[in-house]
Amino acid sequence: MSAPAEHPAAANSDAAAHRPARGPRELIFELGAEESRCVEAPAPEGEWEPLEALLGDALRKTPPALPNVSELEIMRHYGHLAEMNFGVDSGMYPLGSCTMKYNPRINEDACRLDGFAGAHPHQPAASVQGLLELMWELQEALGEISGLPGVTLQPAAGAHGELTALMCFRAYHLDQGDVRKRVLIPDSAHGTNPATVSMCGYEAETIPSGSDGGVDMEALRAALAQDVAAVMLTNPNTLGLFEASILDITEAAQAVGALVYCDGANMNAVLGISRPGDMGFDALHFNLHKTFSTPHGGGGPGAGPVCVTEKLASYLPGPVVVRDGDAYAGRMPERSIGRVRTFWGNVGVLVRAYAYIRALGAEGLREVSEQAVLSANYLRQRLSGLFDCPFCRMCMHEFVLSGAAMRKEHGVRTLDIAKRLLDHGFHPPTVYFPLIVEESMMIEPTETEPLSALDAFVDAMISIAEEIRTDPEIVKNAPYTTPVRRLDEARAARTPDLRWRPDPGGLSADG
């Protein structure tokens, strides 16, 4: 049977509870009236030079095209936009690889303390000793957690950390007159890894995964040679699996003079349990905006500190914070690759990470990872009977299901399942990544979701699987309860309509 736009079964779920109070409505330019005002500036008192005399040609000829709205209209407008948004505060957000977990609100207060938020990047070090001490302690903590003692807090994101580390690798090799050109990356890697490699002027070469989801050791050994600059690995990898051959991998790579990079975006699975430095990695980046408390998504700000072995520490970008007795200062490492970010990096993100690490301590961080792994395995066990689970062994903080069989038997794609989950009040998991699993769904519940939310997610998936078997059109036409239904994604990406500007004859779109 074919589903009408509003399929009766659309009302079958708990979705009503999650339905947005109102759908799209006017833009702010369409609100208000000529006479509406939010703030009326008082007329200046006393004698003033006319604006024309003060500004000359710089005086604008027409008033700015600002909407005329009252304070109440503004509040309702933004309140409405917030209601239409979906975030961790609204519901479970199991977006694999992205770690959309709840971040303690108190860390937001910490980073807004005057001494941190109000510090000016040009202030002399003597006047920001507290902040520098915090950054030094954070460097120490990240060095301890990773097992890699050289730390820079400069990079502004994970991909930026990758680039920073590869630049250090190149500087290290060049210092020894060693010019290398290839970087080996498993086919399960995050897209930023090969992109970073090309940006850095190396050639990326893909190594296939073996049948257990780990790196195919034979293929890796065959590719390793004296011209390999680095092997880039994510551990746990993007299938959510711990790389069981990691010691063999680092040993084999280093035997030909290559350096081994750990994409540490998944460190939330192993905090306080295992350390990349002990596995033989030469460098790693953290995603502070995933693992250590900065809200993730929406384009930043983030921070991707890089940790390296002692032999690479002198190549790090600066300033790094150093301690001399009780005093703290910024210093450029001896053979530094230079700056990769202005001033001291994204300091607010660093403060949140510090607060998070100090509040939890070593035991607490370990519990974070244990809980993340437990939650993922609980969901994996409960869902793997419903959907195919191609690498169904004990996972770390996330796991990957496949909707390939559902597509073959019922014509329902993973994308449809993702859309139907919206009707149940869940943000969908990551879909179609990693690329090596057909119709993949990558699910990361995170340590912060309670058991009741995990169970509700399983119930939603059970109900969707049942619909797929009995009336797949329901799923193919979802979502039913969101402010907008399915978008023309290609058009939205290619010709985005981002800007509106009132014109004298009315309102017009101005792409």
Ligand X SMILES: Cc1ncc(COP(=O)(O)O)c(C=O)c1O
Nearest CB to ligand X, comparing residues 304 and 472: 304
CB 169 within 8 A of CB 230: yes
Residues with Cβ within 8 Å of residue 16, at least 6 apart in sequence: 481
CB 292 within 8 A of CB 286: yes
CB 239 within 8 A of CB 270: no
Task: List Cα–Cα distances, 169 to 86, 177, 249, 318, 338, in angstroms.
Answer: 40, 13, 18, 16, 14
* Rounded distance between C-alpha atoms, residue 397 and residue 94, angstroms: 11
**Nearest distance from C-beta of residue 144 to ligand X, angstroms:** 22
188 makes contact with ligand X (CB under 6 A): no
Nearest CB to ligand X, comparing residues 103 and 266: 266
Q: What residue spans of 102-230 are helical by DSSP H?
A: 106-111, 114-117, 129-146, 158-175, 192-199, 217-223
- Out of 272, 304, 318, 348, the only residue in the binding site for ligand X (CB under 6 A) is 304
Cα dihedral across residues 80, 86, 88, 92: positive or negative:
positive
The one segment of 6-14, 259-267, 317-325, 411-419 that binds ligand X by CB under 6 A:
259-267
Write each residue from 232 to 251 as x if it is in contact with ligand X (CB under 6 A), else as -, in one continuous string: --x---x-------------
- Of 250, 252, 281, 288, give the one whose Cα is nearest residue 267: 288
Nearest CB to ligand X, comparing residues 87 and 257: 87
- The interface with ligand X within residues 90-129 (CB under 6 A) comprises 97-98
209 makes contact with ligand X (CB under 6 A): no
157 makes contact with ligand X (CB under 6 A): yes
The one segment of 47-55, 86-94, 151-159, 242-250 that binds ligand X by CB under 6 A:
151-159
**Nearest distance from C-beta of residue 442 to ligand X, angstroms:** 10
CB 262 within 8 A of CB 235: yes
* Rounded distance between C-alpha atoms, residue 43 and residue 45, angstroms: 6
**Nearest distance from C-beta of residue 448 to ligand X, angstroms:** 17
- Out of 232, 260, 265, 279, the only residue in the binding site for ligand X (CB under 6 A) is 265
Nearest CB to ligand X, comparing residues 132 and 189: 189
Q: Name the token pair of 68.
A: 């005329």
**Nearest distance from C-beta of residue 189 to ligand X, angstroms:** 8
**Nearest distance from C-beta of residue 181 to ligand X, angstroms:** 23
b/e per residue 16-26 (b: at least 16 CB within 10 A): eebbeeeeeee
Nearest CB to ligand X, comparing residues 154 and 234: 234
Write out the DSSP string of 354-379: HHHHHHHHHHHHHHHHHHHHHHHHHH
* Rounded distance between C-alpha atoms, residue 502 and residue 62, angstroms: 13
Radius of gyration of the chain (CA): 26
- Out of 132, 159, 241, 395, the only residue in the binding site for ligand X (CB under 6 A) is 159
Residues near ligand X (CB under 6 A), total: 15
- Out of 263, 282, 398, 467, the only residue in the binding site for ligand X (CB under 6 A) is 263
**Nearest distance from C-beta of residue 179 to ligand X, angstroms:** 27
**Nearest distance from C-beta of residue 206 to ligand X, angstroms:** 16
302 makes contact with ligand X (CB under 6 A): yes
- Out of 150, 158, 277, 345, the only residue in the binding site for ligand X (CB under 6 A) is 158
Q: Residue 72 CB: number of other CB atoms within 10 A?
A: 10
Nearest CB to ligand X, comparing residues 347 and 478: 347
Nearest CB to ligand X, comparing residues 236 and 472: 236
- Out of 287, 336, 375, 414, the only residue in the binding site for ligand X (CB under 6 A) is 287
Nearest CB to ligand X, comparing residues 333 and 345: 345
Nearest CB to ligand X, comparing residues 240 and 403: 240
Nearest CB to ligand X, comparing residues 13 and 375: 375
CB 291 within 8 A of CB 271: yes
Residues with Cβ within 8 Å of residue 393, at least 6 apart in sequence: 212, 213, 241
**Nearest distance from C-beta of residue 123 to ligand X, angstroms:** 28
- Out of 101, 170, 182, 190, the only residue in the binding site for ligand X (CB under 6 A) is 190
* Contact footprint for ligand X (CB under 6 A): 97-98, 157-159, 190, 192, 234, 238, 263, 265-266, 287, 302, 304
